[in-house]
Structure 1
Amino acid sequence: MSSPSTPARGRPARLDPDRTVGTALELLDEAGLDALTMRRLADALGVQAGALYRYFATKQDLLTAMAERMLADAGTPPAAAATPDADWSERLADLARAMRAALLARRDGARVFAGTHSTGPHTLGFAETMIGVLREAGFDDRDAAHTLMAVANFTVGHTLEEQAALRPGSGDPADPERLCQAVTVTPGRFPHLATALPTLTGTDFTAGFEFGLRVLVQGLRTLDRTGHRHGYAAGHGGGGRERS
């Protein structure tokens, strides 16, 4: 008896969105985003390339579905994010960590996710959870929405840089000596930058992520969650009347 992934002799391969996305993610892990083409995916599925467009009109549609699948576990992370009586900041941080872990679990995961706008249940569930944490903490609707975007953009951007610094296919950090050699910094010309170079060219990506996350949370704490913002001008451009 043939399986869904192995067509019976003389019959066309069975094709469905779930299997297509799963196979696309497997190819992503094997060869990276640049090598993932609709033709290569069709070959792996044993179908004609045109058959894929029945479910995904463009490659971008496929990437969006892949991004949605990657967030399958990020909306319900363990630890503080799932504990209602935990501090809102730790719940927020755990959600960001879960998102980073989901992107790191796939080769070029952040590149796939960047620029997609999924409306699937996993993406919406993640957004619902984060906004719920913030609203329960007293943030108004606008601040909660802006925070969601700020945290997501920081997490995706950091993970993009993190994955770019990994050797293709190896998963091992790039050689820090090579990174140092690629940056021509002399103490006489760039004294401050020279002292920071060991950190800038280091490979402790988690430490960098946690620092940025801590800065974000500390900034959020400066918001007065009664609806006023310290030093915040109406109209966002600085030309409006400052809220009292």
Structure 2
Amino acid sequence: MGPTSTSPSAQRSRGRPRKMTVPEAVTTALRLVDEDGLDSLTMRRLAAALDVQVGTLYRHFATKQTLLAAMAEEMLAGCAGPLPDGLTWREQITELAGRLRMALLRHRDGARVYAGTHSVGPNTLSYTDTLVGVLRETCLSPEAATRTALTIVHFVIGHTLEEQAAQALAESELPATLTLLHAALDPGTYPNLAAAEATLTSTDFAGHFAHGLNLITKGLAGE
């Protein structure tokens, strides 16, 4: 008979299962996404990384979507912090939108993780409440301010989805894609696009983001 294993995992298999906390699971899930992308994240893989049974995970997260909501909530930590003094309402909106964008960019596939989640945690609710509060100061009703806040959040998510998708292609398919686009932009057929080719092929996502957000806030100022 071989020697008896005294490793912690072997001991747990014969006795009490390893305890797991929700923050530990969320942090580990974000790490796995950072390493290999959202598509690689499964409940089974997360359980293995945590050295727990899959059933243990499901006791805390009823579905993978529940896990994603918890991950989204964690990503927004700090986004609702105090705003700098002296900002105009437009600058406050720009600051808050920029915080959300950076929170999503901080993690690989961050926008994909966040999109479609409906967290009721304090990070998410405080951020949204702060944004709605700034918009209400422009004399918008609570309903209009909330719709406008959702418009801004959806713009941030959509823009960041495109930005992170481009980042994923940057070292593989993006150069070839830009070459195809350049070849397709015949000035005689697409004169307007050909005139703006430098903008179409630009990877200045911060500049694109600032331009789009400026359009939104200018529209609000003109109401």
In structure 1, distance between residues paired with 2:180 and 2:19: 49
Confirm or deny: 8 A CA contact 1:38 1:52 kept in the other structure.
yes
* Matched pairs, number: 211
Give percent identity, aligned residues only.
48
RMSD between superposed Cα atoms in Å:
1.9
Deviation at 1:90, TM superposition (A): 0.3
Other-structure match for 1:118: 119
Confirm or deny: 8 A CA contact 1:165 1:174 kept in the other structure.
no
Other-structure match for 1:181: 179
In structure 2, distance between residues paired with 1:87 and 1:43: 49
Moved over 3 A (4+): 6-9, 172-177
In structure 1, distance between residues paired with 2:84 and 2:77: 15
In structure 1, distance between residues paired with 2:199 and 2:221: 27
1:39-118 paired onto structure 2 within 5 Å: 39-76=44-81, 81-83=83-85, 85-118=86-119
Q: Counterpart amino acid of 2:168?
A: R
Q: Counterpart amino acid of 2:128?
A: A
Confirm or deny: 8 A CA contact 1:7 1:13 kept in the other structure.
no
TM-score with structure 2 setting the length: 0.88
CA, structure 1 residues 8+39, in 2 after alignment: closer, same or farther (shift >3 Å)? closer
Hey, which of these two has a bigger chunk of helix by percent? 2
1:103-159: CA deviations, max 9, x gaps? 000000000000011110000000111111122332221221111101000000000
TM-score with structure 1 setting the length: 0.81
CA, structure 1 residues 53+186, in 2 after alignment: closer, same or farther (shift >3 Å)? same
Other-structure match for 1:3: none
Q: Which runs of 5+ in 1 are unaligned?
A: 1-5, 224-244
Q: Counterpart amino acid of 1:31?
A: D
Secondary structure at the counterpart of residue 70 of structure 2: helix
Q: Counterpart amino acid of 2:191?
A: P
Q: Which runs of 5+ in 2 are unaligned?
A: 1-6
1:68-103: CA deviations, max 9, x gaps? 0000121116xxx342x4211100110000000000
CA, structure 1 residues 127+139, in 2 after alignment: closer, same or farther (shift >3 Å)? same
Q: Which moved more, 1:90-99 or 1:139-148?
A: 139-148
